[in-house]
Amino acid sequence: MDLKDLIQKDRERKRKEKFEGTFLDYLELVKEDPTTPKLSHKRIYEMISRDGYETLDPEKEVRVRNIYGEKVRVYNFFKDEFFGIEKAIEEIVKYFHAASLGGEEARQMLYLVGAVGSGKSSLVEKLKSALEEREQIYALSGCPMHEEPLHLVPRHLRGQFEEELGVKIDGDLCPVCRWRLVNEYDSQYERFPVRLVSFSKRNRIGIAAVPPVDPNNQDTSVLIGSVDISKIDKYPEDDPRVLRLNGAFNVGNRGLIEFIEIFKNEIEYLHTIITATQEKVIPAPGKQNLIYFDGVIVAHSNFAEWNKFKSELTNEALLDRIVKIEIPYCMELDQEVRIYQKYIKKSHFEAHIAPGTIRFVSMFAVCSRLKETNKVDILTKMKLYNGEDVIDKGKVKKVSVQELKRDVEGEGFSGISTRFVMKAISDAIVESEHECINPLQLRDVLIRKVRQLTIADEEKKRYLTLLTDTLHKEYLKELEREIMRAFVHAYEEQAEGLFNNYVDHIEAFCNKTKLKDPVTKEEVNPDEHFMRSIEEQIGIVGEAAKGFRQDVMAYLMSMFRKNEKVAWRSYEPLKEAVENKLMASVKDLSRIVTKAKIRDKEQQQKYNVMVAKMIESGYCEHCAESLLKYAANNLWTTE
Ligand SMILES: Nc1ncnc2c1ncn2[C@@H]1O[C@H](COP(=O)(O)OP(=O)(O)OP(=O)(O)O)[C@@H](O)[C@H]1O
Ligand SMILES: [Mg+2]
């Protein structure tokens, strides 16, 4: 790409987009397109909905049925950056939708509450940056609040203007523009200049953020601007020329004002919010009248502050003007994985990350957030929340996620935060010697960091048990599987073969027929010993076998009727049995090869093939070797 060319073109585009004209010219534009003037909620709602959404249907997708049990909208605007919080996002969009239609929400503040690192700031950030990237507004030139030009229309003509233009006119001129109209334009408002401007954080146009203020210095000039003392000598006190309308409400007019950690402020400081939301006016500094304001007010904080604030009776007035939306942590494993993938992609890490590493930390984060129940163990709960089928005694476990969710309160609002995990990932990367991290190294970092946390002992113990026991074992199982998969020559073919063979035998068994021996072509009875050797892999023995075989047949028949292809992975219980059987048959061999300190030629060759296979599936030379070494010393020790 020619950069000079790019700059040239960009400048040309900007020049074209730049509108500078008089109010009269602006009126022409509005007449052409009456959707030009827009209140702030509507602008943001349209910005979000322009990208469209997808409806997840429980009738069509098992995952949706398992996790939500109802229809969910996934908004494209948020889709690539926010994961596992679709429900909360739906609520946010609903707020904007209702507000855009002029509902009471338009006169309420949006308030996001959730645990640390649950994505509150990022959600607001997303709205702000999208405003910057995609939206522009027509504003009165030189207005400190970049106000809507239609404010110029005198009250007594508004009815006629509204009819002629097909728009509704809200709001009145700010004191600065009113002064200029009279003194610079001789009240000829049609001559007042209008400009097209972009939202900009840096230039303080339409986007403002208010951090919590020191309780001893709750100076409201941060919110509404101030009187310029140096000009007081020059002009009378009530002259707008002494005003400095540079507070957050002035800057954020027509766009969005974010109150960070809002309830860290004294309540008196927040009184402006009450009039700004309800009456759509803000106080002016000094001796001026109230000023019209139109902006989206978004605030956030965590639960401790919310509870404190809520419990004080004197806060009632503000409480009544809040739309509160809870932002939970993600509790879906696959989605949690995506959060860290996004994070890694955004940073400049170059280290290799072994397969399973991000999944391991995500399991930890999700499990730490789930509450214990006596219905299922924590790992099962995690898998169910992830929309997975969990197999128990040869059958898919029938526990509804909605029921589990109903059983506990406040789930998703405590536990390990995303930020904690991100720091652990970067620590592990920085500490890694070989530009490569694996789940075991990350586990060590997590253990160390959990030990340093200042939290209740019981909670700490629970996290450490997850890391050293529950999840560690789960990972080792997976590692063992990976190693053996790498070891089994032509794994897929062998599994498929076992599966087909098993199906042939149980078909004959269920139909009470014989089958043909593939070699001798003789008619033989189904091989009970062989069938059992598969079934016992998932704990099906004795009488249960018959039922299991019938279940498998019923499943196959239903797939056949639906014209769907079956493969060895199709039916989860049988998949597990086949896989275990395959593993069992090579377990000894692979153990010997992995463990051997000195390998003979044949063993060495097998070992090399295994490493090569692992590299094929995403390991690097280093993590493949070190995980194999770990397996040799720590797996299979009891046998
Ligand atoms: N559900 C999620 N989807 C995608 N990213 C997420 C999600 N939850 C958290 N994150 C990521 O985690 C990080 C921390 O989030 P953020 O700073 O927005 O949290 P917060 O709720 O504002 O926390 P705090 O209360 O500590 O200010 C960000 O990088 C954010 O993108
Ligand atoms: Mg934050």
Question: To test ligand 1's pocket by mutation, which of 366, 418, 425 has the most ligand atoms within 8 angstroms of CB?
Answer: 418
Instruction: Report pLDDT digits (tens) over 570-618.
Output: 888 899 899 888 888 777 777 777 777 777 888 888 888 888 989 998 9
| pLDDT score, position 82 | 97
- Ligand nearest to the CA of residue 123, numbered in listed order: 1
Evaluate if residue 162 carries a pLDDT over 90: yes
Task: Give the pLDDT band of residue 530 (cuts 50, 70, 90).
Answer: very high
pLDDT > 70: what percent of the chain?
99
- DSSP of 64-125, one letter per residue? HHHHTSS-EEEEHHHHTT--S-HHHHHHHHHHHHHHHTT-GGGGSEEEEE-STTSSHHHHHH
Q: Are 305 and 261 in contact (CB under 8 A)?
A: yes
- 302 within ligand 1 shell (Cβ under 6 A): yes
Q: Are 393 and 544 in contact (CB under 8 A)?
A: yes
Pick the residue whose CA is nearest to atom 24 on ligand 1: 116
**For residues 523-546, average pLDDT:** 91
- Would you call 364 helix, strand, or coil by DSSP? helix
Nearest-atom number in ligand 1 for the CA of 83 is 3
Residue 439: count of CB within 10 angstroms of its CB: 28
Nearest-atom number in ligand 1 for the CA of 301 is 25
Tallying the residues shown for the chain, one arrives at: 639
Which residues, 6+ apart, have CB-to-CB distance to 513 below 8 Å? 507
**For residues 310-338, average pLDDT:** 92
- Ligand nearest to the CA of residue 120, numbered in listed order: 1
| pLDDT score, position 639 | 46
Residue type at 243 in one-letter notation = L
Q: How far is C-alpha 117 from the chain's CA centre?
A: 11
**For residues 122-128, average pLDDT:** 98
- DSSP of 427-485, one letter per residue? HHHHH-SSSEE-HHHHHHHHHHHHHH--S-HHHHHHHHHIIIIIHHHHHHHHHHHHHHH
User: Cα separation of 337 and 341, whole Å?
Assistant: 6
Nearest-atom number in ligand 1 for the CA of 327 is 21
Nearest-atom number in ligand 1 for the CA of 84 is 1
Question: Which residue bears the tokens 């023995």?
Answer: 541
Evaluate if residue 314 carries a pLDDT over 70: yes
Evaluate if residue 548 carries a pLDDT over 80: yes
Question: Which residue bears the tokens 């401007």?
Answer: 197
Window from 55-64, 149-158, 288-297, 432-441 with minimum mean pLDDT: 55-64
Instruction: Report pLDDT digits (tens) over 211-248.
Output: 988 777 768 889 999 988 888 888 887 789 999 999 99
| pLDDT score, position 141 | 95
- 88 within ligand 1 shell (Cβ under 6 A): no
Evaluate if residue 469 carries a pLDDT over 90: yes
Which residues, 6+ apart, have CB-to-CB distance to 27 below 8 Å? 165, 190
- Ligand nearest to the CA of residue 122, numbered in listed order: 1
Task: Give the pLDDT band of residue 16 (cuts 50, 70, 90).
Answer: low
Task: Give the pLDDT band of residue 317 (cuts 50, 70, 90).
Answer: confident
pLDDT > 90: what percent of the chain?
63
- 82 within ligand 1 shell (Cβ under 6 A): yes
Contacts 24+ apart (CB under 8 A), 73-80: 75/48, 75/49, 75/51, 76/51, 76/52, 77/47, 77/48, 77/49, 77/50, 77/51, 77/126, 77/130, 78/48, 78/123, 78/126
- 122 within ligand 1 shell (Cβ under 6 A): yes
Distance 121 CA to ligand 1 centre (A): 7
Evaluate if residue 144 carries a pLDDT over 90: yes
Helices of type H across 187-237: 221-224, 229-232
Q: Are 144 and 245 in contact (CB under 8 A)?
A: yes
* C-alpha dist (Å) from residue 464 to 355, 412, 440, 452, 535: 23, 19, 14, 12, 35
Nearest-atom number in ligand 1 for the CA of 81 is 4
| pLDDT score, position 615 | 93
pTM for the whole structure = 0.88
| pLDDT score, position 564 | 84
Reference 588, options 636, 522, 628; nearest CA is 636
Rounded to the nearest 10 degrees, what angle do helices 621-634 and 572-595 cross at? 90
Pick the residue whose CA is nearest to atom 18 on ligand 1: 119
| pLDDT score, position 9 | 85
